[in-house]
C-alpha cells in the first residue's frame, strides 16, 4: 500500500509540474503578444494571430491537465472513502455481535469500538468536506488515521481475543 501511495504522490507532483510548465509557457506567450502589439505590420499581425492560436492551445492544455488532476483526486477520494467505510463496517459488525453478550468485557469492548468508529466517522467527514487545495494534508491525515486504526484494531483483537472466537 505504501508503494501505491508513493506512486500517487509522484503522479500528483508530476501533474503539478506539468501545470506550472504550461502556465510559464502561457505567460511567455502573453508577454510576446503584448510586445508585438505595439508596432503592428502585416508580418507582425500574422505572428500575433499565430501567438493567439498558441495561447488558446496552451489554455486548452491547462484545462485538460486540470480536468485530469480533478479526476485523479476524485478517484483517490473514492479509494480512501472505501477503505474507511470497510473498516467502519467491520467495527459495526463486531459491535452487533457483542450486543448479544451482556458481560462487562463485552461492554468494554463495545465502548472501545465505539471510540474507534467515531474517529473513522470524523475522518470520513474530513474527506467529504476537504478541498483540492488541502488534499495533501487531508490525504496524509487520513493515511495516518488508517494506520493507527489498523494498529488499534489488531491490538483490540489481541486484548479481546476471547470475544473473537
Across 83-111, average pLDDT: 84
Number of folded domains in the chain?
1
- pLDDT at residue 8, rounded to an integer: 58
Whether residue 45 has pLDDT greater than 60: yes
Higher per-residue pLDDT: 70 or 20: 20
What's the pLDDT tens digit per position in 77-90?
888 888 888 988 98
Distance CA 98, CA 46 (A): 78
DSSP secondary structure string for all residues of 68-97: HHHHHHHHHHHHHHHHHHHHHHHHHHHHHH
Higher per-residue pLDDT: 157 or 12: 157
| Cα diameter, the chain | 92
Whether residue 2 has pLDDT greater than 50: no
Residue with cell 508530476: 14
> What share of residues in the chain are helix, strand, coil (percent, to 5)?
90, 0, 10
- Full residue range of the structural domain in which residue 142 is found: 2-164
Confidence of residue 41 (pLDDT cuts 50, 70, 90): low
What's the pLDDT tens digit per position in 115-139?
888 988 888 888 788 776 777 777 7
Whether residue 160 has pLDDT greater than 80: no
pTM equals 0.53
Amino acid at each position: 500500500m505504501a508503494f501505491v501511495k508513493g506512486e500517487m504522490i509522484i503522479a500528483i507532483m508530476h501533474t503539478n509540474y506539468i501545470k506550472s510548465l504550461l502556465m510559464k509557457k502561457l505567460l511567455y506567450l502573453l508577454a510576446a503578444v503584448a510586445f508585438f502589439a505595439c508596432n503592428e505590420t502585416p508580418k507582425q499581425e500574422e505572428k500575433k494571430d499565430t501567438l493567439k492560436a498558441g495561447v488558446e492551445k496552451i489554455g486548452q492544455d491547462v484545462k485538460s491537465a486540470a480536468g485530469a488532476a480533478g479526476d485523479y483526486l476524485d478517484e483517490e477520494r473514492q479509494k480512501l472513502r472505501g477503505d474507511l467505510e470497510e473498516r467502519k463496517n467491520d467495527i459495526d459488525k463486531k459491535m452487533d455481535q457483542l450486543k448479544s453478550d451482556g458481560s462487562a468485557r463485552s461492554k468494554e469492548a463495545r465502548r472501545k469500538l465505539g471510540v474507534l468508529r467515531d474517529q473513522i466517522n470524523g475522518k470520513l467527514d474530513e474527506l467529504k468536506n476537504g478541498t483540492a487545495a488541502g488534499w495533501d494534508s487531508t490525504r496524509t491525515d487520513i493515511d495516518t488515521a488508517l494506520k493507527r486504526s489498523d494498529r488499534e484494531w489488531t491490538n483490540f483483537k489481541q486484548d479481546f481475543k476471547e470475544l473473537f472466537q
